[in-house]
């Protein structure tokens, strides 16, 4: 397996995000705190084959969001996102 195979798109995290948010987050727009790039969450890189899910900026690959879940307990870190614009 190529390590390239491990990178997925934002929609790979859509199901997990729907467990946490009452609306579809992949169409939300956000700004990368590190490089300022703005993109829809569906367009970010997702690494889900890990002890948690890591969403990274498609431009600079810095961490936007991290999610860990363990049977009903979730941990969420969104420090890598300056803001999210959601049309609910």
Size of interface with another protein, in residues (CB under 8 A): 45
**β-strands 29-32, 38-40 pairing:** antiparallel
Report the residue from 23, 35, 36, 60 that binds another protein according to the rule CB under 8 A.
23
Instruction: Report the residue number, 7 or 82, with the smaller CB distance to another protein.
Output: 7
User: Binding of another protein at residue 73 (CB under 8 A)?
Assistant: yes
CA distance 78 to 76: 6
Residue number with CB closer to another protein (29 or 82): 29
**Coil, helix or strand at residue 5:** helix
Position 72 contacts another protein (CB under 8 A): no
Q: Taking CB under 8 A as the rule, does residue 31 contact another protein?
A: no
Q: How far apart are the first and last CA of the chain?
A: 38
* Rg for the chain, CA atoms, rounded: 12
């Amino acid at each position: 397996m190529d390590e390239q195979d491990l990178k997925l798109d934002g929609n790979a995290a859509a199901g997990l995000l729907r467990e946490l948010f009452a609306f579809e987050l992949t169409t939300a727009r956000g700004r990368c705190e590190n490089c300022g790039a703005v993109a829809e969450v569906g367009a970010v890189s997702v690494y889900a084959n890990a002890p948690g899910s890591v969403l990274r900026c498609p431009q600079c690959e810095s961490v936007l969001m991290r999610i860990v879940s363990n049977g009903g307990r979730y941990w969420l870190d969104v420090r890598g996102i300056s803001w999210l614009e959601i049309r609910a």
